[in-house]
Structure 1
Amino acid sequence: MTETLNDRFAALQAERERTWSAEQLERNAAQRRVLVERHDPSAQPKAGDTVEPFTLIDQDGRELTRDTILADGPAVLVFFRFGGCPACNIALPWYNETLLPELRARGIRLIAVSAQIPVDRDLIARHGLGFTVASDPGYALGRQLGITFLPDEQPAVPHGQPWIGATLGTGSYEIDQPAILALAPDATVLFFEASPDWLSRTESETILAALPARQTATTGA
């Protein structure tokens, strides 16, 4: 049987159940449960909607505007939580392996996006990622898409550990939910799916099925 991305998340959860305390497990599950309960797809983009102009900052500090990203064709944006997120360190290399080659063959750009600024370049090096990783300054695009969230209560930070606002470089507990946004060259949405439970994310096959197929070369008679 072919392994899936969510099989890998299941393995991560199984490892946690072997090694984490009951309190840790429940705290993590409760955070994800609240996000699932509050998830409202009707408040997020749908196919055919237009995404307003935005500007990202890539790993080299360069600006990436909506229009420059789409100048040569469609694009897929993979939103992730932050560079140190264990689940994101499973998802991004998975997309690098199973999604990027086919997108390249179709002439579709792939960019990973989080609110973390500057980009965690160690994440790119650790997994040999072959696509651009970018920051979303001030959560502007994440908020436009309705995928950011702020915990009801600021969680306690273990002594000596950085709090999430310091990790993100934003000074805030606000963070992106994982999501997939596919855009046509005219900035209309081809596909959008958010994953409020960050241990359940969109499979590559689902993304590819929503995108333009490879162009078949034609020759004259």
Structure 2
Amino acid sequence: MALQDELDAFKADYEAGKPPHSVPRSAIKTMQRATAELIASGAASRALKAGSKAPGFTLNDPDGQSVSSRDLLAQGPLIVSFYRGIWCPYCNMELRALQAALPAFAALGARLVAVSPQTPVNSRKSVRQNSLTFPILADPHNDVAAGFGLRFAMPDDLVALYKNLKNDLPSFNGDQSWTLPMPGRFVIGQHGIILYAEVNPDYTKRPQPENMLPALRYAASVSA
């Protein structure tokens, strides 16, 4: 099943309140309204695009080891996927799809890292829960996400809803700011230029991992 088909099926069940989901219709409407407002804000249009210079970053993996984009790019092209956290079922489905596509990325000499604002303990849960073999990196306060143009502040009604649903983002992230990254995926060539960028303010929409393969093939051809 294609990733978006899987996401759409989950969304339909979730919004219909099918077990094990029991979210009130008013909560669904609040989430939908917040997504519509983020789309209307034009935030996604301000994110970095193909042709832009990618910001360098150094972030910690769940074991506290520093991982540098510069070091990764010295080995080949780099895929950077920003996601919201382990509490987001859409993100978990995306992570598993990226894991399934990992051999195709590796065959083209590419490395993959996923970046979220969550604490190391929750990153370790992401790895275990989704059986991941690629690095999960912690981006405190969404600072690196901001450099890519992805960070946004959650609206007050959505914050209130999350609190009511016991979705405690300050605890997940170790940060009181109530900010999130828009889901975004980037392919960065070894020269540091973004070759592929896809950002969607609707967190229920994620591109198929294989969409990145043309950019990775190009990166492999120019580095050969």
TM over 0.5: yes
8 A Cα contact 1:54 1:140, kept in partner: no
Q: Which runs of 5+ in 2 are unaligned?
A: 18-22
Q: Does 1:96 align with 2:102?
A: no
Which residue of 9, 16, 23 corresponds with 1:18? Answer: 16
Q: Which stretch of the first structure deviates more once superposed, 188-197 or 26-35?
A: 26-35
Q: Distance in 2 between matches of 1:145 and 1:205?
A: 22
Which residue of 97, 112, 115 corresponds with 1:110? Answer: 112
Q: Return the structure number with greater helix share.
A: 2
Counterpart for residue 20 of structure 2: none
Q: CA deviation at 1:148?
A: 0.8
Counterpart for residue 183 of structure 2: 178
Q: CA deviation at 1:214?
A: 9.1
1:141-160 alignment runs, 5 A limit: 141-153=144-156, 154-156=159-161, 157-158=163-164
Letter in 2 for 1:10: D
8 A Cα contact 1:179 1:192, kept in partner: yes
Q: Which stretch of the first structure deviates more once superposed, 143-152 or 32-41?
A: 32-41
Q: Distance in 1 between matches of 2:40 and 2:103?
A: 35
Change (3 A) 1:55 1:111: same
CA RMSD of aligned residues (A): 1.9
Give the greater-gyration-radius structure (CA). 1
Q: Distance in 2 between matches of 1:137 and 1:151?
A: 16
8 A Cα contact 1:117 1:170, kept in partner: no
8 A Cα contact 1:58 1:134, kept in partner: yes
Q: Distance in 2 between matches of 1:197 and 1:84?
A: 16
How many residues are treated as equivalent by the alignment?
A: 212
Letter in 2 for 1:100: L
Letter in 1 for 2:50: A
Instruction: Give per-residue Cα distances to partners, 1:113-139, cap 9 Å, x unaligned.
Output: 011122521111112112111111332
Letter in 2 for 1:141: V
8 A Cα contact 2:44 2:201, kept in partner: no
The share of aligned pairs that are identical, in percent, is 27
Q: Which stretch of the first structure deviates more once superposed, 101-110 or 52-61?
A: 52-61
TM-score between both structures, scaled by the size of structure 1: 0.88
Q: CA deviation at 1:14?
A: 1.4
Q: CA deviation at 1:213?
A: 5.4
Instruction: Give per-residue Cα distances to partners, 1:118-169, cap 9 Å, x unaligned.
Output: 252111111211211111133221111110111231324128x352122111
Counterpart for residue 65 of structure 2: 62
